[in-house]
Amino acid sequence: MKSTMAVNQPGAQKVNDWTDILGDFKGVESDLIPILLRVQEGLGYISEEAVRCISLFLKLSENQIYGVASFYPKFRFSEPGAQKIKVCMGTACHVKGGHFLSDAVAWELGISIGQASADKRFDFQRATCLGCCTLAPVVQIDDRIHARVLVTQIKEILKKRE
């Protein structure tokens, strides 16, 4: 089983082919979660190709694999965008209008939480607390924290990141 997959995650583990991942496992059912974690770490998501290869390797149906993987929020099934936007929805940020910021990001990018923009530049996530509650409401884009963000600033913040 040899298949090349491109890795576009900045800082992601380089995966050249499926033997890089599957070669470390015995091919038993209990390998499923560890394999999914390795794929998620390497690709940034669980691709259809990954599910097909895992299915052959573990002799499980693709439906069984999706069934297990979809139970855990850590696994995603679409390619992530390059820049990670996290709108904090923790208590302090929520009280100060974090949900309005979330709506503004969704509106500007035309996507929902958990999705990547069509051009794959942005990946939109929700955070429960980014650890800087005194700066609420907070939006994080990659490693940069934007503090006390107003809804009217979202468009400009995103434009600067294009």
Interface residues with ligand FES (CB under 6 A) are: 88, 90-93, 129-133, 136, 138
Residue with tokens 């429960």: 128
Reduced to 3 states, what is the DSSP secondary structure of residue 139?
Answer: strand
Sign of CA dihedral 137, 142, 144, 149: negative
Q: How far is the CB of 132 from ligand FES (least distance, A)?
A: 5
Smallest distance from ligand FES to CB 26, Å? 42
Could you give the angle at the alpha carbon of 121 between the alpha carbons of 118 and 122, nearest 5°? 85
- CA nearest to 105, candidates 147, 148, 152: 152
At 91, which amino acid appears? T
* DSSP, res 60: -
Nearer to ligand FES, 42 or 90 (CB): 90
Least separation in angstroms between CB 126 and ligand FES: 11
Phi, psi of 141 (to 5 degrees): -120, 115
Comparing CB distances to ligand FES, the nearer of 35 and 138 is 138
CB of 134 to ligand FES, least distance (A): 8
C-beta closer to ligand FES: residue 33 or 129: 129
Nearer to ligand FES, 12 or 133 (CB): 133
